[in-house]
Structure 1
Amino acid sequence: MNDTRSDRRRLLKGLGAAAATALVPAWARAGGASPSTPTDALVIDALASPLGQRRERGALIGNEELAQLMASGLAALHLSAGPVGREEGAWDATREALERWRREVQARPRHLLHVQGPGDMRRARDTGRVGLVLGMQDAVALEGDATRLDVLRGAGLRVVQLTYNGRNRVGDGCLVEDDRGLSGFGREVLARAEDQRLLVDLSHSSERTCLDALQAARRPLAITHTGCMALARNPRNKTDAELRALAERGGVVGIYFMPFLREEGQPHAVDVIRHVEHAIDVCGEDHVGIGTDGQVGAIDVDEEYRRRFAETIRMRREAGISAPGEREDVFIFVPDLNAPSRYRMLARMLARRGHSGQRIDKVLGMNMLRVMEQALA
């Protein structure tokens, strides 16, 4: 264990720590972040990407990206593999993505761990690595065959999100106006996922699909990345009724760092905290976590980034998968938490708001750890 932690320190010193630091905003480097949290939390991001804005040839995760990932303090993150919003080719694309991530973990055994069982996230933390929980954000890859979950689980999948924004064979996403809820096939998929010890994710679902799934589930479920509808009316956010039903059944909601935290303009840390605190008020402190839905490393908003971001927004609109609030001039990160240390920064902000160390531990990861371990056991 000590050797692995030494590897982490050597990586940060020799493989891009300076570059990673350069991407952290100057105000954060000047004292906005602390090297430690108020408590010794096991930190989990319920949906994030270890990839950055600049691709390097060779490994899937470049050295600079790896340096920022290792500096983040994360014990584990859930990442999305496979396409969303289209069924054609989704089966092959999802299996290929899972295989790419499996090879990536094998190529970096001192720094990454493929989470496959309930003890792996704790083991990642204890050995100085980051655990990767592989999931998919749309059940389109199943193409009407729930037994495909068996194959995907064998390939490393551990989280299955039932829908993206539109309608698929499982049920309705949050942008479907004539909300029909969970389909008969969707109930079959839900039961199969639970039998296969997969965590079912209700992010992006319609309200009826969400409530139907919670009613039918035998185990606690998660909404890994969302906001609170009561604070910002947007279909990507969840109503208090959904949040309350999730908590009553033992589930956990992850609050994201996305534009949908506000109805207008760029969200900031104060918006994240508002949604975290509202979710705690509705669900209780045992049922709230963090799922940023963004990249772990800092984002450098240069002209190239602006161009690519605007192009991505346009492509999502053309594909019919864009949600209201997605705009070329509202970025998908929180500017005053734009650093790998964002989790520690958020912990300090919550502490200053009067939240206890125990509650902060729960929000930073212990709640999500519980629901993931329950699903995988």
Structure 2
Amino acid sequence: MKLAQRVSALTASTTLAITAKAKELKEQGHDVIGLGAGEPDFNTPQYIIDAAVRSMEEGHTKYTPSGGLLPLKQAIIDKFKRDQQLTYNPNEIIVGTGAKHILYTLFQALLDEGDEVIIPTPYWVSYPEQVKLAEGVPVYIEGLESNEFKITAEQLESAITEHTKAIILNSPSNPTGSLYTKEELQELGEVCLKHDVLIVSDEIYEKLVYGGVIHTSIAEVSPELKQQTVVVNGVSKSHSMTGWRIGYAAGAVELIKAMTNLASHSTSNPTTSAQYGAIAAYNEDDGSVEEMRKAFEDRLNKVYDKLIAIPGVSCVKPKGAFYLFPNVSDAVKINGYTDVDTWVKDLLTEEKVALVPGSGFGAPNNVRLSYATSLDVLEKALERIERFVRSKTK
């Protein structure tokens, strides 16, 4: 059987691949520490589970509108008003089966063959593949480690061509945890306004920020930038609802309508009970979100110094999300390897620690380490990594 070219050219998700290998070793009886998956280790807060169960008991088990329940759209609208002082109408909101599906639907609705989408590196692994599936062309701008992996307005200006349709901004970032300031967003936004480039602002880690910093959505910088931006968000990371698959976008009516029409022919609607859970997540917060954020920040602060004490490892301290993205190129050289991917593979084989190589994020000198797991597990993992590096030191 000959497969379609669009899927034959796809690159498998690096994060899922390393997680699958770690699971395989676990099933063989090995004590594997998996730091690959981007998933909170907390269970979904009970009040959200209760709301979903209650909705099913009350008979809410049927189809919903393709773009999501109106009460959920209203909860999202209230969230934007409460957190960013942004005002949206229901016809400017679409709810989908996770933020990943929302992004996929967005690019399918937005791009024609040859349209360019600017993607800062390091990037979340699915951005380039989703753009290519929509027959678009990913254009990469390197976010330098010396600038906390963030791109500048000058870099953006030089990358824009007559084919540029959009730019993806992810703040806080997966995989780096970097966070753009309001001033930086304003500078980037002015370039986008000048060239009429749509801003796709992925804010899925919005609630997970540390060190007293404040998350700013580029849509709240000015009314003009709000009109130029599609905000993508969801409850997966903030409320530990990864398996519930509820994400959403807020943007121009015409684009949201097109996305909704497309979703009606792909998923019909987001899962009904999950939508009721998401309504509760935004309307009935019991403090769980802040408790989880504090736990992540505590882990970050306790393991960061131990990480950078490992020979050959350096790391920009993240301001958000729940990932460390250390540069291990010197450790790789110390150990006699020529590339990070092989180093990561041997680390998993020999010390049973699963990290994600940075090559999947467009940063081949780095690895991604998720601290969305217990402090004991993190410290044990770092001990194994240090042992691996020191045991091979020439």
TM over 0.5: no
Structure with larger RCO (C-alpha < 8 A, sep 6+):
2
TM-score, normalised on structure 1?
A: 0.32
Larger radius of gyration: 2
